[in-house]
Structure 1
Amino acid sequence: MQLQTARVGARFVPDVSTLDQIAPEDFTRLASLVTRQTGIKLPPAKRLMIEGRLRKRMRAVNKPNLTAYCRFLFDEGGLDSEITHLIDVVTTNKTDFFREPEHLHFMENHMVDALLAQPRRRPLLKVWSAASSNGAEAWSIAMVLEDVLRRRRDFSYAILGTDISTIVLAQARRAIYPAEVMDPVPRDKRQRYVMDSRTPELRGEVRIVPELRRCARFDRMNLMDTNYPYDRDVDIIFLRNVLIYFEKADQEAVVSRLVGHLRPGGYLVVGHSESMVVVEANVRQVGPTIFQKS
């Protein structure tokens, strides 16, 4: 296909009218599928973004255009083999190290003390990053807990990260990142918990230190599943900036399921734009978008 261009100033930009596009009926089918599978809403305004992301998958399965790719998914039995890849490319995985740091400060200065004051068989804190993306949230949590552990020396911790995207989970497990993404990490924590590469060809990349990596694991999990295969005595669950993509009924169902995995006195932390989503009767708000189970 010949790509036409239009001159804008001194630049040439594509004429998008000539690009392969998803037919409206195919976008409706895709959006419905993604919502059923993940709970995430895909309004028509996201069609251009989705088209760009799906072209990579289109080429990977040797389809000539998006129409053929959608036909492969819905009419030719390709969905079974393609669904994981499809979800990987359409889900949004925006995250940063030490994002919304007020939550981490509250964990360090209030949650840990309150949780360890509770009677327990062993002083193990269980923390779940329930929409962990590429691991930035889980590793930020680990840095904070490791600092507390250096002061108290009377507990241990385990971190679980879950996400629906296999791509971001692979990065989380590797714990290797471009050096610039560590800019939000406080300098003292950056020095203690992040290793710079000594290999010339990997210069510009960093890795989380082994002592933190030993305390975390990452699993693929869909928040839309009706049951989560994890412990029901979790101390802290972070579920930040994902509920905003869900319908109200799905928001309430996910929150209810996660609260069911908290121990009494455990904490649920949601994003700053999601406070009104938490309407569970057996939790009370104890801080901005921070809730404690009764």
Structure 2
Amino acid sequence: MLNRQETNNGHRREREFELGDEEFRFLASFMSRETGIVLSDHKRDMVCGRLVKRLRALGMRDFSDYCDMLRGPKGASEVENLVNAITTNITNFFREPHHFDHLRDQVLAPRLLERPRRPRVRIWSAGCSSGEEPYSIAMTMADALKGGGGWDALVLATDIDTNVLRRAEQGLYPLKAVDHVPETYRKRFLRRTNDSDMVQVSDDVRRLVRFRRLNLHENWPMKGLFDAIFCRNVAIYFDKPTQRQLFNRYADRLHMGGVLYLGHAESLIGVSDRFEVVGKTSYRRIQ
């Protein structure tokens, strides 16, 4: 359905699809029910812009057709494509570096001193996007545990977006993307490829990471507990009740004393009393 809109200079341009009130309300409700993600009114243009390609690919006339499909028997198989289109993936290596310093000094270093009978470390990167965060965790882990032979160390990296997970598994990044990786880590854990503009994460680091698709709003298949969980810039997409439920589930999946790392715009104040602050947007499980 073609709609005409005025541009800033007064000329008329054609807009291929228009997302009406009813269709947006349905999509917002559908995303909330399926993923917990809240789409407020001010995100309507973003939703419209990101779904236009999907409507074209499906040969649909308008958003009403797309909503009808989601309501019907094909809806379940379309959820993945819808989520991939809507979700935002902005990340980089060693983003908010204080978290990795805390992980090294306050989580991993004490574990080395404990010398447990069965040395095991598990860290979860929830909302891992294209892999920069879990690989940053794995580099920190590989460096911190280099003197601890025999450690069973693993980073679980999950995301709801299958497109970014496929890219993350390759461990290939533009050369400019690794500017924030510490120089010593760049030398040890990154390899130049035949393409002079690309680098690849080393096999030793990639072996420490397991990528899996996971919708945080659904059941979690993991049974063991984690030493630390990174969930940064994820909860901002959820409303307060969903955040409370999510953080309570995270507490259940952390060892007592395990650490939860949040994004710079996120906080547990007024949301959960199962953690105490131990650093900048860093929280330790206390109950």
Residue 146 of structure 2 corresponds to which residue in structure 1? 150
- Aligned 8 A contact 1:123 1:156 in 2: yes
Equivalent residue letter for 2:285: K
Query: Runs of 4 or more off by more than 6 Å in structure 1?
Result: 1-9
Per-residue deviation, 1:205? 2.3
Aligned equivalents of 1:196 and 1:265: distance in 2?
39
- Aligned 8 A contact 1:88 1:167 in 2: yes
Residue 282 of structure 2 corresponds to which residue in structure 1? 290
Per-residue deviation, 1:15? 4.5
**Which residue, out of 228, 248, 251, partners 2:240?**
248
Residue 108 of structure 1 corresponds to which residue in structure 2? 104
- Aligned 8 A contact 1:149 1:156 in 2: no
Equivalent residue letter for 2:266: E
Gaps of 5+ in 2: none
- Aligned 8 A contact 2:112 2:145 in 1: no
SS in 2 for 1:260: helix
Q: 1:165 to 1:16 in 2, by over 3 A?
A: farther
Residue 206 of structure 1 corresponds to which residue in structure 2? 199
Aligned equivalents of 2:191 and 2:16: distance in 1?
44
Q: 1:291 to 1:14 in 2, by over 3 A?
A: farther
Per-residue deviation, 1:242? 0.7
Aligned pair 1:188/2:197, yes or no? no
Equivalent residue letter for 1:270: L
**Which residue, out of 217, 220, 231, partners 1:228?**
220
Residue 263 of structure 2 corresponds to which residue in structure 1? 271
Equivalent residue letter for 2:200: R
**Which residue, out of 42, 64, 67, partners 2:39?**
42
Aligned equivalents of 1:2 and 1:28: distance in 2?
21
Aligned equivalents of 2:109 and 2:270: distance in 1?
24
Aligned pair 1:238/2:230, yes or no? yes
1:68-87 matched pairs, under 5 angstroms: 68-74=65-71, 76-87=72-83
Q: 1:243 to 1:15 in 2, by over 3 A?
A: farther
Residue 61 of structure 2 corresponds to which residue in structure 1? 64
Percent of aligned pairs sharing the same letter? 36
Aligned equivalents of 2:206 and 2:233: distance in 1?
24
Aligned equivalents of 2:232 and 2:170: distance in 1?
22
Aligned equivalents of 2:200 and 2:16: distance in 1?
39
Equivalent residue letter for 2:209: A
Equivalent residue letter for 2:170: R
Per-residue deviation, 1:166? 0.9
Q: How big is the alpha-carbon RMSD for the aligned residues of Structure 1 and Structure 2?
A: 2.5
What do residues 152-206 of structure 1 show as CA deviations (whole Å, max 9, x unaligned)? Answer: 55734211001111111111111122222212212221222122211xxx44222
Aligned equivalents of 1:79 and 1:292: distance in 2?
40
Gaps of 5+ in 1: none
Aligned equivalents of 1:277 and 1:185: distance in 2?
31
Range with bigger deviation, 109-118 or 156-165:
109-118
Range with bigger deviation, 252-261 or 268-277:
268-277
TM-score by length of 2: 0.90
SS in 2 for 1:229: coil
